[in-house]
Amino acid sequence: MKTPLLNKRFEQAINNLNEALSALYSITEGITLFKSINTLAVELAQAIESLVEDAEQAKEPELPDLLAASDVLAILDELQDTDLVSDLEGILLDASGNEASPELIQFMMELIEKIEVKFNVLLEQAQVLSALTETDV
């Protein structure tokens, strides 16, 4: 049964997840080396949009069931299983070559740190949304 508390929590979780996703997307958009992260961000955004549409169209949506049946959790699981920082370090170090200047390496590491912060916020918001599948409100 649809309850105002669950709907409000669902809506807030979706909004927070979208904000975190947007922040990650904006820092990786248009950068070829981060295409895989950006692609996952786009897939997640599309899955969230589909989930919201399903929730809006259902007469009395069972939000945990809708969430569990959506692609959102599968994509979030894939993101959580990703060792993003190690992958990014490997990509950037391979791209810079063995003769990269210390300044370039420092810049790359700072960029990785910024992406990691955005990514961790996204994962935190994913956990909040995932918890709604276990809610019996």
What's the structural domain count of the chain?
1
- From CA 42, how far away is CA 22, in angstroms rounded? 10
User: What is the structure's pLDDT at 118?
Assistant: 92
Residue 30 located in a structural domain: yes
Q: At what angle do helices 35-57 and 84-96 cross, to 10 degrees?
A: 150
Residue 106 located in a structural domain: no
CB 63 within 8 A of CB 55: yes
Q: At what angle do helices 72-81 and 35-57 cross, to 10 degrees?
A: 150
For 3, list phi and psi in degrees, rounded to 5.
-125, 145
Residue 67 located in a structural domain: yes
**Could you tell me the residue range of the domain that residue 59 belongs to?**
4-82+121-134
- From CA 32, how far away is CA 23, in angstroms rounded? 17
Other residues' Cβ atoms within 10 Å of the Cβ of residue 82? 15
Over range 14-29, report the average pLDDT. Answer: 92
For 101, list phi and psi in degrees, rounded to 5.
-70, 155
- From CA 55, how far away is CA 59, in angstroms rounded? 8
Residue 109 located in a structural domain: no
- Would you state the structure tokens that stand for residue 117, as one six-digit string? 């912060």
Residue 15 located in a structural domain: yes
Residue 14 located in a structural domain: yes
Residue 88 located in a structural domain: no
CB 114 within 8 A of CB 27: yes
Residue 73 located in a structural domain: yes
Instruction: Report pLDDT digits (tens) over 79-111.
Output: 777 777 788 778 777 777 767 788 887 888 898
The pTM of the full predicted model, rounded to 2 decimals, is: 0.79
User: What is the structure's pLDDT at 2?
Assistant: 46
